[in-house]
Amino acid sequence: MPTVAYHRSEESYSLAKKYMNPKLVDVMDILGFNKIYTHAKGNYLYEKSGDAYLDFHSGEGFASLGHAHPALKKALIQAIEDELPDGTQIHYSAHSGLLAEKLHSHLPESLDAFFFTNSGTETVEVALKFARACTKRKKLLSCHQGYHGLTYGALSVTSEKYFQDGFGPLVPDCEKIPFNDIEALENALRKKDVAAFIVEPIQGRAVAVPDPAYFPAVRELCNRYGTLLIFDEIQTGLGRTGKWFALEHWNIEPDFVLCAKALSGGFIPVGVMATRREIYNKVVNTLDRCYVQHSTYGRNRLAMIAGLATLQTIEQDDLVEHVQNMGIRLLAGLESLRKKHPLIKDVRGMGLMVGFELGCPDSLKGKIEWNLIQTASKGLYPQLIVIPLHRDHRIITMASGHNDVIKLLPPYTVTEKEIDYFLNALDAVLTASAEGTSSNWKIVYDIAKRTLMTNFASAATPH
């Protein structure tokens, strides 16, 4: 039976503009992303008209199994119908223990203590607190171009100024170093005052992949200087890179592994911190400190059941191997397009976490317009590709951040046919965008001019 929200779906953006974020609504209007999706299933989102949009972003990877996966729906509906008790704080249900046990089976043996959260950023906060409490050190180290979340601790170890401006002062004693730079890491650790080095196995904002020798060297340096290694696998964990966890690519054992996004299976928010029992016990070290770190919704049954159903589905359907195979096909196809189209500067990634970076056009006119677009807004240039993919081919992609990278995070259930459809669509868009006179260039160029005028007017207005 249609709900009130369904009947009022045409008001989606007017309600959002009135009660939530009007500027985000304006951006969606400008980019043509202001679609009203009435339902989603598998790898597609659907409008009322029945038009289907292939989802190659999956909500930054949280819809890991696609939308409305039947195994998760069944498990969650059953849990609601069973009227299981929940919300009792001094209590453990079997579901949280079973989920921890299942996660442990896919992690290094040493990571045998778990703390469940509601999100990726909360998971980061918990790990940073545990690292400081365990080591008795204050300093936290992270990487330039790294992203770890937007709550205060996570924001303080996130690199991009765009997210930090206006929210200071941030958490003190947070330092940044270049990613994939062992010498910089050793220089930062040498004083033995760093509690933890938090790092993404693959940097999510630019899809930056490290050299093969980087993380083994990171592990050795952290051991040498007594710094705990926090592996932020919130985006890479649970199969995204073609391994259960990205750490397997380098055969290392971090002191913490953080996971969220994919663990939800596209339904209930859930995150988890895995660490060593000895670290956990140094934080919760007495009876009166048993409650020093807790989360009201962290172990709620629907989240635990969603996590269990997600892991069981990944196992039963051999999705980690499927991701690896589909990733090979996607990367090979993109590499072929890179050789054909000068607009693609680079292709990189692992499994189904893939990015392709756009470069400056060769023509003088293209270079002039590229410079204006870059001046207007970092991250606007990829809309040259993202907009027509969405408008003309009904494929959902997104610019990766304030850079020229388009990041692809299709669901694990993506098929060969869907990957080929995406590659053919991208080929057509790149061909149409090759000339600076194309309609795609005009759209992005007009957005850049409008952005510059808005920014100028805002700067000129007295505050």
* One domain for residues 145 and 284: yes
Name the residue among 191, 216, 187, 190 with its Cα closest to residue 201: 216
Tell whether 9 is covered by a domain: no
pLDDT over 80 at 313, yes or no: yes
* One domain for residues 153 and 233: yes
pLDDT at 1: 65
For the chain, what is the domain count?
Answer: 2
Average pLDDT over residues 378-401: 92
For the stretch 219-249, pLDDT in tens is 999 999 999 999 999 999 999 999 999 999 9
Tell whether 121 is covered by a domain: yes
Per-chain mean pLDDT for the chain: 92
Using CA atoms of 224, 147, 398, 425 in order, give the dihedral in degrees to the nearest 10. -10
pLDDT over 60 at 419, yes or no: yes
Amino acid at 154: A
> Which residue, 316, 345, 363, sits at the end of a domain?
316
Q: Taking the CB of residue 151, how many other CB atoms lie within 10 A of it?
A: 15
* One domain for residues 105 and 251: yes
Average pLDDT over residues 100-122: 97
Question: Tokens for 407?
Answer: 């990041």
Average pLDDT over residues 251-279: 96
Q: CA distances (Å), 134 to each of 8, 26, 153, 254, 259, in order?
A: 51, 46, 17, 15, 20
* One domain for residues 366 and 286: no
pLDDT at 461: 58
Q: Per the confidence metrics, is the pTM higher than 0.75?
A: yes
Question: Tokens for 336?
Answer: 């072929």
* One domain for residues 399 and 435: yes
What is d(CA 413, CA 249) in angstroms, rounded to the nearest whole number?
Answer: 22
Tell whether 30 is covered by a domain: no
pLDDT over 80 at 318, yes or no: yes
* One domain for residues 248 and 334: no
Tell whether 126 is covered by a domain: yes
By the 8 A CB rule, do 440 and 433 touch? yes
Say which range, 56-65, 149-158, 237-246, 279-288, has the weakest mean pLDDT.
279-288
E strand residue ranges, 4-161: 37-41, 44-47, 52-55, 113-117, 139-143
Q: What percent of the chain has pLDDT over 70?
A: 96
Q: 3-state secondary structure string, 180-248?
A: CCHHHHHHHHCCCCEEEEEECCCECCCCECCCCCHHHHHHHHHHHHCCEEEEECCCCCCCCCCCCCHHH
pLDDT at 90: 73
By the 8 A CB rule, do 300 and 308 touch? no
pLDDT at 137: 98
Q: CA distances (Å), 451 to each of 104, 316, 376, 379, in order?
A: 48, 49, 6, 12
Q: What is the CATH number of the domain that holds 204?
A: 3.40.640.10
Give, in degrees to the nearest 5, the angle at Cα 455 between 450 and 456: 100
Confidence label for 362 from pLDDT (cuts 50, 70 and 90) = confident
What is d(CA 68, CA 43) in angstroms, rounded to the nearest whole number?
Answer: 9
What is d(CA 273, CA 255) in angstroms, rounded to the nearest whole number?
Answer: 10
Tell whether 267 is covered by a domain: yes
What is d(CA 420, CA 285) in angstroms, rounded to the nearest whole number?
Answer: 54
Confidence label for 436 from pLDDT (cuts 50, 70 and 90) = low
Sign of torsion over alpha carbons 239, 241, 245, 248: positive
Confidence label for 451 from pLDDT (cuts 50, 70 and 90) = confident
Q: Is the peptide bond before 169 cis (omega within 30 degrees of 0)?
A: yes
Tell whether 16 is covered by a domain: no
Name the residue among 249, 267, 294 with its Cα closest to residue 122: 294
Instruction: Look up residue 253 and give its DSSP letter.
Output: -
* One domain for residues 211 and 354: no
What is d(CA 51, CA 35) in angstroms, rounded to the nearest whole number?
Answer: 11
pLDDT at 289: 85
pLDDT over 70 at 121, yes or no: yes
Q: What is the CATH number of the domain that holds 355?
A: 3.90.1150.10
Average pLDDT over residues 168-176: 96
Confidence label for 412 from pLDDT (cuts 50, 70 and 90) = very high
What is d(CA 432, CA 422) in angstroms, rounded to the nearest whole number?
Answer: 15
* One domain for residues 80 and 203: yes
Q: How many CA within 13 A on the CB side of residue 454?
A: 11
> Which residue, 288, 316, 344, sits at the end of a domain?
316
Q: Which domain holds residue 439?
A: 35-56+319-460
Strand partners, 257: 231, 274
pLDDT over 60 at 458, yes or no: no
For the stretch 43-96, pLDDT in tens is 999 998 899 999 999 999 999 999 999 999 999 999 999 887 777 677 778 899
Say which range, 30-39, 165-174, 284-293, has the weakest mean pLDDT.
284-293
Tell whether 259 is covered by a domain: yes
Tell whether 61 is covered by a domain: no
Which residues lie closer than 8 Å to 320 by C-beta, 6 or more apart?
Answer: 239, 242, 243, 244, 314
* One domain for residues 129 and 204: yes
* One domain for residues 311 and 325: no
Name the residue among 242, 226, 236, 241 with its Cα closest to residue 258: 236
What is d(CA 412, CA 323) in angstroms, rounded to the nearest whole number?
Answer: 6
Name the residue among 417, 400, 401 with its Cα closest to residue 409: 400
Name the residue among 459, 435, 461, 449 with its Cα closest to residue 377: 449
* One domain for residues 193 and 334: no
pLDDT over 60 at 160, yes or no: yes
* One domain for residues 324 and 198: no
> Which residue, 264, 297, 316, sits at the end of a domain?
316
What is d(CA 84, CA 346) in angstroms, rounded to the nearest whole number?
Answer: 50
Confidence label for 7 from pLDDT (cuts 50, 70 and 90) = confident
- If you write DSSP's letter for every residue of 268-331 in order, what string do you get? S--EEEEE-HHHHHHHS-SGGGTTSS--TTTT-HHHHHHHHHHHHHHHHTTHHHHHHHHHHHHH
pLDDT at 126: 98
By the 8 A CB rule, do 173 and 190 touch? no
Name the residue among 167, 137, 172, 179 with its Cα closest to residue 157: 172
Confidence label for 445 from pLDDT (cuts 50, 70 and 90) = confident
Confidence label for 203 from pLDDT (cuts 50, 70 and 90) = very high
Sign of torsion over alpha carbons 173, 176, 181, 183: negative
pLDDT at 117: 96
Most confident among 379-383, 414-418, 428-432 (mean pLDDT): 414-418
Average pLDDT over residues 273-286: 94
